[in-house]
A = this chain, B = another copy of it.
Amino acid sequence: MTTAPQTRKRRMPRAERERQMLAVAEEIFAERGYAAAAMDEIAERCGVSKPMLYEYFGSKEGLLVACIRQARGQLATAITQAAVGATGPRDALRRGLVAFFEFTDAHRRAWSLVLRNEAAVAGQAAAAEVEAIRQEQVEIDLALLTAFLPDAPRVDLEAAAQIVVGACERLSLWYVSRDDVTAEQAADHLMRVLWTGLAALVEPPTAR
């Protein structure tokens, strides 16, 4: 009685409360899907009432956008970090891929908001946020590819970058659903197809 659990409601500074709200929202969005997620429930699980959510995030869509933006920042950081110290463009690509797959595995809940299309529901802003993630990836790949192939026509490079990003995204969904494949293996599968091509799978190249 003297040392009651003190799990009682507590006032939090804004920054901390926002972080908590994002965590709870991410969980509920991933759990129920955006449409079925109720703001009342998110508020309740935060131990707070609904207008607080609106105070801090403006709207339901705003809350989703904040979740996605957070994940986006984390992903960009992870990939950028992974690429430093690479021995060359090819190594940089591989390291980036590994980091990407590791991230999507570790944050599969957050990432599923992107992958499983929980975005465009809400409207323009959320869709734009998801598209921004992909655009960011394309930029990164484009920079890499340009380093490889300074003389190639721009349009070829753009197409190639889109291909890499699309392959990554889809492969990550597959990879996350399989327990027997590691991030390295997924990256290797992709590197092999991208680098060597399917033809080489048919008949291994003469050398190299």
Contacts and interface: CB of A to CB of B under 8 A. Distances in A.
A193 B160 contact: yes
A3 interface: no
A50 interface: no
Contacts of A155: 180-181
A41 to B, nearest CB: 16
A122 B181 CA distance: 31
Interface in A129-154: 130, 134, 145, 148-149, 152
A170 B162 contact: yes
Contact of A194 (B117, B174, B198): B198
A16 interface: no
A167 interface: yes
A120 B117 contact: yes
A201 interface: yes
Contacts of A166: 166-171
A189 interface: yes
Contacts of A202: 148-149
A198 B148 contact: yes
A121 interface: yes
Interface in A24-50: 33-36
20 contacts: A33-B121, A34-B121, A117-B127, A117-B130, A120-B121, A148-B201, A148-B202, A155-B181, A156-B189, A159-B190, A160-B201, A162-B173, A163-B190, A163-B193, A163-B194, A165-B170, A166-B171, A167-B167, A169-B170, A194-B197
